[in-house]
A and B are shown apart, each in its own frame.
Chain A
Amino acid sequence: MKRIRTIRLKGCDLDKRLSEEKNVSFFLEPEYVYYPLKDFVFLKKIDDYVFEGDAILKSSKFDLYVFSSVSGYIISTDELMYDKSGNLEKFIKIKNDFKNNKSYEKRINIINSKNDLIKLCKEKGIVGLGGGAFPTYLKLQSENVRDLIVNACECEPFLTCDYKLILEKSRQIIEILNLIRTIMNYDNIFIAIKKNKINAIKLLEKEIISMNLKEYIKIKTVEDCYPVGYEKYLVNKVLNKDYKTRPAEALTIVLNIATVYSIYEAVMFNKPLIERLVTVSGYSIKNPKNVYIKIGTCFKELIQEIDGYIEEESANYLIAGGAMTGNSIKSESLVFTPGLSQVTVLSRKKNEFELACMGCGKCNYYCPSNLNPYLIKLYFKDLDMLYDLRADKCVSCNICSYVCPSRIELSYFASKAKDKIRRGK
């Protein structure tokens, strides 16, 4: 079994402190909301009126719906906005009428069996909120799963939304975890959290003890390093097991803690996935904090709501995601999709030197998939060679570019090579 090496990021304590100490605020009344059309089938028509909670899109890959998070008219279907990977895509635009007409009623769903829970997750459109946006019902469907790992690691710099969620909703999280455990018949539930998040650990432990669940729900602490939030690392660290493609091979599933809370809302309030907690932080944000938003909100509206940038000129880098895996976005028209948990705005002086590779081998040393990014970059045009070098195993953690002392854009080429192999040309 290969040990996945981790690295302590520079100044990650300071980064997190920006938004950690501030209260969570709410921004639930955006003027417009946007939904991506890529990989989805549009169910309504333009100028249709939709209620909050109406299904407007159906995924073309999975049996999954996307719900409108506001009530109002669909005013456009070809709005060009940025998604979290930095591409300009077509989006649906819905104008909010601020009437909050809901299509679902607030009630408690009775869950009696495994199928009930899976059906509910499917109906309520619950996807992984950690970043992958992988449908949760597919994860719950896996057979023979013995353990559930709840990922609350937040290994990205500046990211604190999972931590804040635990501080606010620790009781609800433990409650729903207990429900999931009894319904799905799991042996153990592990909550993986960084060991410096002492407040959150204490709070969770208190709730676990008060509900007498000490035998079943355990807290596993991990180092304050990168990439500890990576699934393979967590399964390796928590269960000491290895797997190739899916954690289900190691008889476990990994859910983000925000996903777990969205399951709670679906069960207790019958609420589809229309809201989430996001971190808006960075040294160029005047008031960095965690905001509870409607999914589909545009970043431009949110940034005006939370007082904007420190200096308009110095804020010159917008990152959808964290400073490690996040993508650079060209303009403010960035849409919060379920997979986007944070936005970072930073400034930097131009520092774009690139020297020749001196062969230190750090990229290979730290790569969680054991790839050789230097060779992938060197043989980027040779598809057969890329197959042999297994560029498809790249997990886009960007650690190779981070450690490179010569500032070579290794991860850029590795991710491109992965796409190249996926497309087959």
Chain B
Amino acid sequence: MKENNNLKEFNIFKAPYLRSCDSTRNNTSYIMKSFLIAFVPLFLFYWIKYSFIPLISNEISFSTYLYPFVFVLFSALFSFLFEALYFSLVLKEEDCFKKSYQSFSLIPGIILSFVLPINTPIWVLMIACFFSSIVSKMIFGGFGYNLFNPAMLAYLFVMSAFYKEISNGNLIIDGISNVTPLNNIKDLLFNNFNDNLLTKDYLIESFLGNNSHSIAESSPIFCLLILAYLSVRSLINYKLSIIYLLSCFLFTFLLPYSLNYDNSINFSLYSILNGGIMFASVFIVTEPVTSPRNACAKYIYVVFTALFTVLLRLFSDYNEGVASAVLFMNLFSQTIDKITSKIIVSDSFKKKAIFIFFIILIIFIIVLYMLLRLKELI
């Protein structure tokens, strides 16, 4: 056997030669960096409404005015530094800062500062950042391998471990109640308490933004604007957000409605406009790493997240819905992904029918359970 010599040699690559990620706009780092811009409008709204306007009318001092900015900055910085530390100490990387930047450590930090109450003491924030960066992200293998949403896990952790510290807070910004409006939600439904919260005016007010408790919950309308921006740039799948919102709306509407609750439409509007649902629909539920890969599985994941959000909000004694629901579904996202991927490509119609039936059955059982519980309580 002989091979021709003196021929021009070429480099080898894996097909295809063309990659959309070769352009500057379509690769992962660009997409994750674009998310940073999306946080700005919500933050600016909060900063202007609760810090800048009070500053002009001389209600707060200049240092208090800067506090929300410092809060977000510290959170981002802590997350960045913790990951850099992990890279340098545990993984023995040389370029630890660059590595930390490349694993998009800023984003969970910023989300954390958004969802935590603004009066959280800085040392609690630091613990939360440690928990989100190291425990729930880096130990799992870094960006792309984390099982749980880092910010949500850390949020849940500090909310349960340091609830007293957070609710007493350092009260740097005055006049901010640490009680979220969601405490009322069960009272509204079960005890007909404080009906003026279900009026049209209050709903419009809360749609525009009236909650100073945390940045994430401050303004639903800005969340929607960010959703529009992110979908125009096709950075997230807007259908997931819409389905999440719609399912939350439907579940909170239909359940009281079927029990002849008078104000059920206002009640469901109230419950999606207050609390973290709006923010979660943009940043948490659509978060790609911890959700399934399969396009169809994503929808199932989102519907179930909505279902558990409503379930936890209505019946949990614990003042928390979205974060627990998201974490609970994170646990199943890989399983859903695997099962759905197998079912979709399978040729047998029977398997698909059984699968769809099974999904509907689970939803039905949970809804039925909620209905029975509600009947007891109302």
Contact = CB atoms under 8 A, between A and B. Distances in A.
Please determine whether chains A and B interact with each other in the same assembly: yes
Interface of A: 7, 9-10, 78-81, 88, 90, 157, 244, 300, 312, 315-319, 323-333, 344, 346, 348, 351, 355-361, 363-365, 369-372, 374-375, 388-390, 393, 398, 401-407, 409, 411-412
A398 B345 contact: no
14 contacts: A7-B20, A10-B18, A323-B17, A323-B18, A325-B16, A327-B15, A332-B8, A348-B17, A363-B293, A364-B294, A389-B345, A403-B20, A411-B15, A412-B14
B136 to A, nearest CB: 16
A364 B344 CA distance: 11
A370 B345 contact: yes
B362 to A, nearest CB: 22
Contact of B338 (A333, A348, A375): A375
A360 B288 CA distance: 5
B17 A244 contact: no
Given A351-B22, A372-B341, A388-B342, A358 B28 contact: yes
B28 A406 contact: yes
Contacts of B18: 9-10, 157, 323-324, 402
Contacts of B26: 405
Contacts of B1: 78, 80, 90
B20 to A, nearest CB: 6
B20 A331 contact: no
Contact of A359 (B11, B17, B288, B338): B288
Interface string B27-61: 11111100000000000000000000000000000
Contacts of B292: 359, 361
Contact of A361 (B17, B27, B142, B295): B295
Given A80-B1, A328-B12, A328-B14, A357 B144 contact: yes
B258 to A, nearest CB: 35
A316 B17 CA distance: 12
Contact of A316 (B3, B10, B237): B10
Interface residues of B, number: 51
A317 B15 CA distance: 11
Contacts of B4: 80-81, 300, 331, 333
A327 to B, nearest CB: 6
A interface SS class = loop
Contacts of B360: none
Nearest to A412: B14
Contact of A405 (B8, B12, B21, B142): B21
Given A312-B8, A329-B10, A359 B293 contact: yes
B292 to A, nearest CB: 8
B214 interface: no
A332 B7 contact: yes
A370 B22 CA distance: 25
A372 B22 CA distance: 22
B293 A405 contact: no
B164 interface: no
Contact of A330 (B9, B142, B288, B344): B9
A389 B346 CA distance: 8
B224 interface: no
Sorted from nearest, which 4 A-B pairs have the closest CB atoms? A356-B144, A359-B288, A372-B341, A390-B345
B10 A317 contact: yes
A325 B12 CA distance: 14
A92 B344 CA distance: 46
Nearest to B9: A331
B interface SS class = loop
A325 B16 CA distance: 6
Contacts of A318: 10
Given A327-B15, A331-B8, A358-B28, A374 B293 contact: yes
A381 B143 CA distance: 24
Contacts of A406: 21, 27-28, 144
B20 A371 contact: no
B68 to A, nearest CB: 29
Given A361-B298, A375-B337, A325 B15 contact: yes
B23 interface: yes
Contacts of B31: 358, 360, 405
Interface string B150-170: 000000000000000000000
B145 interface: yes
B19 interface: yes
A364 B19 contact: no
Nearest to B30: A405
B286 to A, nearest CB: 10
Given A331-B7, A361-B298, 16 more contacts: A10-B23, A81-B4, A244-B347, A315-B10, A317-B11, A318-B10, A327-B15, A328-B10, A328-B15, A330-B9, A355-B144, A357-B289, A375-B337, A402-B16, A402-B18, A412-B14
Contacts of B32: 358
A10 B26 CA distance: 11
Nearest to A7: B20
B342 A389 contact: yes
B19 A402 contact: yes
Contacts of A364: 293-295, 341
Contacts of B17: 317, 319, 323-324, 326, 328, 344, 346, 348
Interface in B134-149: 142-145
Contacts of B13: 317, 328
B15 to A, nearest CB: 5
Contacts of B288: 358-361
Contacts of A328: 10-15, 17
A356 B142 contact: yes
A203 to B, nearest CB: 30
A412 B237 CA distance: 27
Contact of A370 (B14, B143, B344): B344
B327 to A, nearest CB: 16
Contacts of B28: 355, 358, 405-406
A358 B63 CA distance: 39
Given A356-B143, A402-B19, A333 B7 contact: yes
A346 B2 CA distance: 28
A358 B144 contact: yes
Contacts of B14: 328, 401, 409, 411-412
B290 interface: yes
A409 B3 CA distance: 30
Contacts of A10: 18, 20, 23
